[in-house]
Structure 1
């Protein structure tokens, strides 16, 4: 889970919670600095900051934080090789400082504000100023850090910029879109499914996804595509996708994937101005076969691009794509042809 999910949990769940955040790392760690999770008063857990080795201990700390209402900082030192206190499955080997903050008062208000900022696709900076003698913190949202604060070492001030979940827009609600929606949501994308076939647009098929129903001109007006959005055309309806691409020419986006062969994509984009963010065929060339494996290859490509990785397809890799000429519905083609 990311901060956007945690803020949504604060808005939607009445259970009292504690926010645990990794604020300092020395050495290797399972999650990066800034990673957070929520610990509920009834033992509920949202997210993780370890492979599961610290959560039970953190629940004990969370109980104490909820009882006192004070902010706590807890160090976890897994560097000594002969330290048997954490067992052999710690999987980290570093020093972590974790701050536990009761989600009440100002922090609760701030996380509610962050939730609505994330829904609008906005990034936010959260600055915390700690008074460890009294176990309190001040929270400032959306304000640049002063040079004095930036120079102040942890543990006096901690600030972090949180990004909204990137939105993946699936244009097409066919059977092959179902596993893509599920895997992309699990990988941290906010999924929107758009289609003109009403029977396919159900919450049962796309749990947790936003559903936008209508023809290309209608859904395009509703989507309000932003420069951070990932767009994937997988309706297998040539004329509808051609109409959508014509509208997309004026928009900015982070990624445009088109399901199908390069020949089909060439015909789709003929006469149109498409940015360099076009990916076709979509997905990493892992020799995927069938909808589930193709969804894995697509999701892997989305993750790689989101993390700023340069994609290099192996020579001779294979792609699988939809074919009306195949009795089974899928046919194998050489990657890049």
Structure 2
């Protein structure tokens, strides 16, 4: 669930609680086959049967609201199974070809819930572990642990699994199975991904706007203050830094995805060297591959040579091959590659693909070892 949806849900929850309304959270905890959304997708249901956010394309919501109203009254959490297959005799028969399990829980002001909601509000890395069958809830945030699961072995397993999941590039919620066969749902929240745009040109504007719509925290850096204005880049952090100031004044984290698009060889050269020397996990260079070669040659003439490990982080030309021409289309191309990179997906057409469409590319590659993928595809 992206950060924009989370903000919408939390704002509605806060407003409802201020009004004295009761509410339940509906969370997808398991998906089998094909479904519209994935594990970790949340929907808020209020005691007046209104809802905020969606778990599907509209096919499940009515059923979920009805079940959630019962949970709001009883206060007893439950996991409800929904069959989405076309041929289901007793199921919903919605034609998606899969099934989903949804956990319904009334929102209560206990310590674990309050910590989890605070982590969601603040965009902090954290996990909430809930057994599919059994009792207890476990909140994990760094070294902090709050709550416990009733089964000590499952508690220890969930704690280790949650921390491992939070350490991945793009942590995703999932139901996992302990060695003893018990299942636990690990919901995760992670800070918003960071996009750094070197260059405040015309084509950087739609990239900034579209990235923010996808939940990115965007920073734009450019020495030209006349271009670097809130009117051109609403919602973005603006850094009017000259190229020679980058090394001392701008530090990039391992969560940063950097795009170099100054349209100026000298500035691009300095920005590329800055990004290579940083911890940024993804470095995209706009323009043809030959231009990237020019930048590396210019750096080499200064005695600056990137290591092979540094160069592995560079994506040039950045973006997926979509035939993009207009700035808005180029932004779609770049963000499409960033999404594929974060989630381990192929970035290829789904046409003809058999099986669950949300399965990660890494899992598909394991099932089909003859398939190869690299950042140059």
TM-score by length of 2: 0.67
Deviations along 1:243-292, one digit per CA (max 9) or x if unpaired, are 32333332122211112233332232332425222122221222222212
In the other structure, the counterpart of 2:335 is 299
In the other structure, the counterpart of 1:253 is 280
Within the alignment, does 1:146 sit opposite 2:173 as a pair? Answer: no
Within the alignment, does 1:180 sit opposite 2:207 as a pair? Answer: yes
**Aligned-partner Cα distance in 2 for 1:11–1:284:** 35
What is the SS of the residue equivalent to 1:146?
Answer: helix
In the other structure, the counterpart of 1:330 is none
In the other structure, the counterpart of 2:80 is 74
What is the SS of the residue equivalent to 1:287?
Answer: coil
In the other structure, the counterpart of 2:55 is 49
Match of 2:129 among 120, 127, 130: 127
Within the alignment, does 1:235 sit opposite 2:262 as a pair? Answer: yes
Report how many residues are paired.
302
Deviations along 1:51-86, one digit per CA (max 9) or x if unpaired, are 121223333444444455442322212236154874
Match of 1:159 among 177, 186, 190: 186
**Aligned-partner Cα distance in 1 for 2:140–2:286:** 41
Contact 2:222 2:242 in 1 (8 A): yes
Contact 1:65 1:100 in 2 (8 A): yes
Within the alignment, does 1:18 sit opposite 2:24 as a pair? Answer: yes
RMSD of aligned residue pairs (Cα, Å): 3.5
Deviation at 1:236, TM superposition (A): 1.6
Contact 2:82 2:91 in 1 (8 A): no
In the other structure, the counterpart of 1:59 is 65
What is the SS of the residue equivalent to 1:108?
Answer: helix
**Aligned-partner Cα distance in 1 for 2:75–2:237:** 37
Deviations along 1:171-224, one digit per CA (max 9) or x if unpaired, are 222221122223333444333322333343344443443333433455665653
| Of 96-105 and 184-193, the range deviating more from structure 2 | 184-193
Contact 1:11 1:112 in 2 (8 A): no
What is the SS of the residue equivalent to 2:38?
Answer: coil
What is the SS of the residue equivalent to 1:198?
Answer: coil
Change (3 A) 1:115 1:281: same
Contact 2:79 2:132 in 1 (8 A): no
Within the alignment, does 1:102 sit opposite 2:95 as a pair? Answer: no
In the other structure, the counterpart of 1:267 is 294
Deviation at 1:92, TM superposition (A): 2.2
Deviation at 1:230, TM superposition (A): 0.9
Q: What stretches of structure 1 of length at least 5 have no aligned partner?
A: 313-335
Deviations along 1:9-28, one digit per CA (max 9) or x if unpaired, are 53796223532211123332
**Aligned-partner Cα distance in 1 for 2:294–2:139:** 51
Deviation at 1:99, TM superposition (A): 0.7
Within the alignment, does 1:27 sit opposite 2:54 as a pair? Answer: no
In the other structure, the counterpart of 1:36 is 42
